[in-house]
Chains A and B, each alone.
Chain A
Amino acid sequence: MKYAFWPGCVSKGACPELYESMILISAKLGIELEEMYDGNCTGAGVISEHEPKLADMLNARNFAIAQKMGHDLVNICSTCQGVQSMVQEKLDRDEEYRAEINAQLAEEGLEYKPGLTIKNFMWVLVEDYGLDKLKEQVVRPLDGLRCGPFYGCYILRPSRILGMEEHPERDDYLEQIIEAVGGTAVDYEGKDKCCGFPILTNNRKNSLTQAGTHIGSAKDQGADCLVTPCPLCHLNLDAQQPSAAEVIQRELNVPIIHLPQLIGLALGIDPKLLRMNRHVVGTQAVLDKVLAAVEA
Chain B
Amino acid sequence: MEIRLKVRRQEAQSEYSSYSDYTVDMPEGATMLDALLQVRDYDDGSLALRYSCRSSICGSCAMRVNGRARLACKTKAVDMANGDEPIVVEPLGNMPVVKDLVTDMDVHWDKVRQITPWVENSGPEPEREHLVTHEVMLDVSNALSCIQCGACVSDCPVLEVDTSFIGPAAFAKAYRFVGDPRDDTTKERLQGLSATQGGIWDCTRCNMCVEVCPKDIRPMDRIMQLREKAVAAGVKENIGVRHGNSFAGSVRRLGRLDEIRLLPESVGMFNVPRLLSELPGAWRLFRAGKLPWQSAIPFMHKPIPGIKHVQRLYDQARNQKKEQAK
Contacts and interface: CB of A to CB of B under 8 A. Distances in A.
Interface of A: 9-10, 12-17, 37-41, 43-54, 57-58, 61, 82, 104, 107-108, 153-154, 156-159, 193-194, 196-199, 201-203, 205-207, 209-210, 213, 239-240, 242-243, 275, 277-280
Contact of B257 (A9, A156, A243, A279): A9
The 7 A-B residue pairs whose C-beta atoms are closest, nearest first, are: A157-B207, A54-B317, A194-B206, A9-B257, A13-B292, A153-B206, A201-B266
Given A43-B247, A61-B310, A158-B211, A13 B267 contact: no
Nearest to B224: A49
B201 A199 contact: yes
Contacts, number: 184
Q: Which of B207, B239, B280 has the most CB of A within 10 A?
A: B207
Contact of B161 (A202, A206, A280): A206
B289 interface: yes
Nearest to A243: B281
Contacts of A275: 289
Contacts of A153: 204-208
Given A58-B310, A158-B210, 14 more contacts: A10-B259, A14-B292, A38-B306, A40-B256, A47-B247, A52-B228, A154-B207, A194-B204, A194-B208, A199-B204, A202-B201, A210-B157, A210-B161, A243-B280
Q: Which of B231, B266, B309, B320 has the most CB of A within 10 A?
A: B309
Interface of B: 157-158, 160-162, 165, 201-208, 210-211, 218, 224, 227-228, 231, 238-241, 243-245, 247-248, 250-251, 255-257, 259, 262-263, 266-267, 280-281, 284-285, 287-292, 295, 304-306, 309-310, 312-314, 316-318, 320-321
B69 to A, nearest CB: 13
Given A40-B304, A199-B204, A61 B309 contact: yes
A9 B244 contact: no
A10 B257 contact: yes
A206 B231 contact: no
A104 B313 contact: yes
B321 A41 contact: no
B317 A53 contact: yes
A38 B247 contact: no
Given A54-B248, A193-B206, A239-B290, A49 B284 contact: no
A168 B257 CA distance: 33
